[in-house]
Amino acid sequence: MPRAPLIGELMDGPLDIVGDIHGEIDALRDLLQQLDYNSDGKHREGRRLVFIGDLTDRGPDSPAVASFVARLVRRGLAQCVLGNHELNLLRQARKEGNGWHFDNDHDHQAGKFLTAKRLAPEHRADLHSFFETLPLALERADLRLVHAAWDPPSIAAVRASPRAALELYDTYERATEERIQATGLEGLAAKEKGPYKEKLKDLNFSMPLLPNVVALEELQQCGNPVRIITSGIERAAQQPFYASGKWRMADRVAWWDTYAEPTPVIIGHYWRWPTRAAREANSRGEPDMFEKHESHHWFGLRHNVFCVDFAVGAKYKERISDPNPRFECRLAAVRWPERELVFDDGRRLGLE
């Protein structure tokens, strides 16, 4: 199928906007049942689905989720935006939780995600072809959808480009690397980290803020609008924080606090803990960007941004800690224009 514009047109009519799935096929089936879709993804009232990205990784059956969503999109029953996890697969970037995609499964070698179903090699090209068709964002008069950040300068840069997402990503990466080399920043950062080499993964060490490391991390993230749109804006943290097994110097920015446009935006990407117990048990150590907001609340400068990612990607941790878990982490969808939040366990909340 032809590639859609990178900033695409959102379907008309009533929609159900599904948060990050991360290979949790059973949660997806439960959610679609709660939303009154049949097993073929059809709704008796003609509603349609939109997926906010991050279909895959960590969960038990990423191939099944990606295949199901691709079928719906190709039949005109759904749309999907590109998330950072799909972008990683297009880039052939090996990340924790995406070993299912590679012949030489790096997760299995590390003793992780051992029950995750593998992608048959003969299906890899078809999966990539689907991901290559996905836009970076969708919009219509009453709503905007993007995986991580509706950043106006980044959206404008992407909108003006005739290139595919991966090609555009690579172009900006090369330009960023040239800037890094010209400034000597990589060498300065390496020298700065040198005395702490043995402590970079030590949770119990009191790591100082390293200015050149901060500058390098900021430039690598924010020099590329495709990165910003799919994984957000990052700036210097007030102090180093420990997340995903290492000390980090740059922190995610709540871009919505400066989003001044009136059109509502729905995003995924940022784990929004459905309960305090879920956060306490499964947080990776990162700051909680929604600590002051109830799960059904809009947020931002104009109170018109909503995150529909309720940390279903952490279910794998719940399985590790309990062979018969009572899951706290959830998959959810926003019904539009009803502005209703629906969870895979049937809970429903009006957005406020």
Please report which confidence band the pLDDT of residue 312 belongs to, taking 50, 70 and 90 as the band edges. Answer: very high
Token output for 187: 């060498």
**Cα(97)–Cα(108) distance, rounded to whole angstroms?**
10
Q: Which of 83, 3, 26 is nearest to 267 (CA)?
A: 83
Provide the pLDDT for residue 245.
65
User: Contact, 148 vs 230, CB < 8 A?
Assistant: yes
pLDDT tens for each residue of 278-287: 888 888 767 7
Dihedral pair phi/psi, residue 245, rounded to 5°: 85, 10
Burial class (CB in 10 A: 0-12, 13-18, 19+), 326: exposed
pTM: 0.93
Sheet strands (E) in 209-331: 234-243, 246-252, 265-267, 305-307
Q: Which CATH architecture has domain 7-150+259-350?
A: 4-Layer Sandwich (3.60)
The domain ranges of the chain are 7-150+259-350, 164-253
pLDDT tens for each residue of 214-259: 888 888 888 999 999 999 998 888 788 777 667 888 888 999 999 9
Provide the pLDDT for residue 272.
94
Token output for 240: 């180093």
pLDDT tens for each residue of 288-304: 899 999 999 999 999 99
